[in-house]
Structure 1
Amino acid sequence: MQHSFRNRKRRQLKAEINVVPYIDVMLVLLIIFMVTAPLMNLGVDIELPKSSASAIQNDKEPVVVSVDKDGAFFLTLGASAREAVDEETLVNKVSAFVRQNPQVPVMIGGDERVDYGRIYAVMVMLQQAGAPKVGLMSQPTQPDAKR
């Protein structure tokens, strides 16, 4: 009977998972990824243009479209005087001026009490006129002396 007891002890199966090979594989993969990651170039090589110009300074007089509190349009083309215009005249004049001066800045100055939809309509009209970029004008805030 003792003989059969020894055989049972020797023949019992282990219920453990041998994780040593998995750790080895994981470490090898980690080393491979660490070595190859710096070699992978996922970006695009481009050369940005160099410019020494300041952000807001322009040599040309801008086209300024003003919208007063009642929603009326006023147009200033370069150094010319400000004139009241309707929507069709605004598009025609700005279109002709932008065709002659393609790099001219186009700005919108709207009263803070005017409806945002009116300012948006001016932006759409300037897009139809062919203005490549449109900027919005604002007044700088005054520091409060009481604080």
Structure 2
Amino acid sequence: MKGMGMMPEQRRKPMSEINVVPYIDVMLVLLIIFMVTAPMLTQGVKVDLPETASDPIQTDKNVESIVVSVDSNGAYYLEVGDEGSDPMSLARVRDQVAKILSQRTSGDILVRGDENVDYGTVVRLMATLQGAGASSVGLITDTVPDET
């Protein structure tokens, strides 16, 4: 039946090349996915830890410092310059700090935490302050008394 009025069958030569176009398409899609998701994977609070005993922070005398304090019960207090506040929630601290930082060029904030407060409370506060627009968050500590 092969030769009865039909065209002869052509044999296809095996192709020795790989078509890479679908692989390039997949690679570009994966590249876009990783570029979009990579910034979301980095979480945490940036803290510059001192390597030696630190000197006092030099502050600009024209700008009132912003200090957020956490007492041993986990209550937050906002101090701008010499003015303190009543205890407030973390959401209210975020709103107040965002409002203050929107009117300033510097986004430096200091955190004063009681040594008995839970570590997670201070970390949540620092993350909230960064979310409110703080460019850097510093920690206030007491000096260690000399034992002689």
Q: For residue 58 of structure 2, what is the aligned residue in structure 1?
A: 56
Detail structure 1 runs of 4+ shifted over 6 Å in the superposition. Answer: none
Greater gyration radius: 1
**Are 1:107 and 1:135, in contact at CA under 8 Å, matched by a contact in 2?**
yes
Q: Distance in 2 between matches of 1:76 and 1:98?
A: 13
Q: For residue 113 of structure 1, what is the aligned residue in structure 2?
A: 116
Aligned partner of residue 87 in structure 2, secondary structure: strand
Q: Distance in 2 between matches of 1:55 and 1:92?
A: 26
2:105 aligns with one of 96, 102, 106: 102
Q: Distance in 2 between matches of 1:55 and 1:84?
A: 26
2:73 aligns with one of 63, 70, 91: 70
Runs of 5+ unmatched residues, structure 1: 1-53
**2:76 equivalent to 1:86:** no
Q: For residue 136 of structure 2, what is the aligned residue in structure 1?
A: 133
Q: Distance in 1 between matches of 2:80 and 2:57?
A: 21
Greater helix share, 1 or 2? Answer: 1
Q: Distance in 2 between matches of 1:107 and 1:114?
A: 16
**Are 1:91 and 1:129, in contact at CA under 8 Å, matched by a contact in 2?**
yes
Q: For residue 9 of structure 1, what is the aligned residue in structure 2?
A: none
Q: CA RMSD in A?
A: 1.7
Shift of 1:85: 1.1
- TM-score, normalised on structure 2? 0.57
* Aligned length in residues: 92
Shift of 1:57: 2.9
One-letter identity of the residue aligned with 2:112: G
**Are 2:77 and 2:84, in contact at CA under 8 Å, matched by a contact in 1?**
no
CA distance 1:142–1:134, shift in 2 (3 Å): same
CA distance 1:112–1:141, shift in 2 (3 Å): same
